[in-house]
Amino acid sequence: MRSVLLCCLVAGLGLGGSLMARAATGVRVTPDEAHRRVDVTIDGKAFTSFVWPTSLKKPVLYPLVSSDGVTVTRGYPLEPRPGERTDHPHHAGVWFNYGNVNGFDFWNNSDAIPEARRDKMGTIHLEKIVSTRSGANSGELVTRSVWTAGDGKDLLDETTHYVFTRRGDERVIDRITTLTALDRVVFHDDKEGVLGIRVAHFLESPTEKGGTFTDADGHATKVSSSVPGATGVYLTSEGVKGDAVWSTRGRWCLLTGHTGDHVETVAILDHTGNPGYPTYWHARGYGLFAANPLGRSIFDPKAPAFNFTLEKGQTATFRYRVVVLPRAATAAEMNKEAEAFNGEYR
């Protein structure tokens, strides 16, 4: 009898282990609303999480982890790491917002904003996790949020569809965001927008000279020059490289650097259907990597101001692809990726 029971127990453990292994495989999108997060894993390993902690003024994806286990996003302010920069506390993970919406600043808002300035800021509130889906090679998350101005007025309803995909050693995030104006909304021409990533120290530029960077209201943030360990180099679809990328336009931009024996690339791809295509690159050597299609004269003084406007009830959809690779990527590879991205979403 004992031997029979033992055999059953072993068989049961084997079956349970098999089921758990199967549950861990593929792209798993797991909501944990009690802890204000949705975790995304690939074959049981962390890729990213959608989080909306009370310490931030918008939901973000954090962190981003490459398929070889290297984290390519900065830890500060959510999980500070030794030796990291601690400037711009509103730069957390991967986010989407803007610096001047009807005069309210959604980009620069954080807990560090003095009380006297908070009525000029905007906050994006998560309203609902609409749905999640897991799968063998891709998973999905749909969310609904509201953009609320500092005076308490709701300006925009946001619905965002995330698609998390693995393709070989690539990790891909598609973000499709539709904004619906709850009143007349003007995205005034501004450099602070829209899709941003704050990258890990090793992806900062080794030639970063530092300086003082100001927001639309003239408030300054000082940034130091590059420190040892920074190896990042930008490259755009137009062949612009390094620090010269800032304020240029292109359909994609990649950032490549190395840490130890690992070479990592993070790329952002614009979509032909986006407002303001092709985007300007608000890409800084100190670690801010952003695509901003709604600024124009701020980047090119010879160009007229864009001031993208939505009347009440009108919508605008923004589509972006973020690709994380554990190796250097070529321009030909990114051009092929861009063609595929534009073909998948029309």
CATH number at residue 195: 2.70.98
At residue 218, the pLDDT reads: 74
At residue 214, the pLDDT reads: 83
6 falls within a domain: no
19 falls within a domain: no
For 18-67, the DSSP string reads HHHHHHHSSEEEEEEGGGTEEEEEETTEEEEEEE--TTSSS-EE---B-T
At residue 23, the pLDDT reads: 57
53 falls within a domain: yes
Range of the domain at 252: 29-344
Q: Model confidence over 266-322: pLDDT tens digits?
A: 999 999 999 999 999 999 999 999 999 999 999 999 999 999 999 999 999 999 999
Quick check: 17 pLDDT over 70? no
Domain count, the chain: 1
At residue 7, the pLDDT reads: 44
4 falls within a domain: no
Give the separation between CA 149 and CA 109, rounded to whole angstroms.
11
More confident residue, 15 or 229: 229
Using a 10 angstrom Cβ sphere, with 0-12 exposed, 13-18 middle and 19 or more buried, the burial of residue 86 is exposed
Quick check: 11 pLDDT over 70? no
Quick check: 75 pLDDT over 50? yes
8 falls within a domain: no
At residue 216, the pLDDT reads: 66
* Alpha-helical regions (H) of the chain: 2-24, 331-344
13 falls within a domain: no
Residues 6+ apart with CB under 8 A from 217: 105, 117, 120
22 falls within a domain: no
Give the separation between CA 127 and CA 182, rounded to whole angstroms.
15
Q: Do the Cβ atoms of 80 and 86 come closer than 8 Å?
A: yes
300 falls within a domain: yes
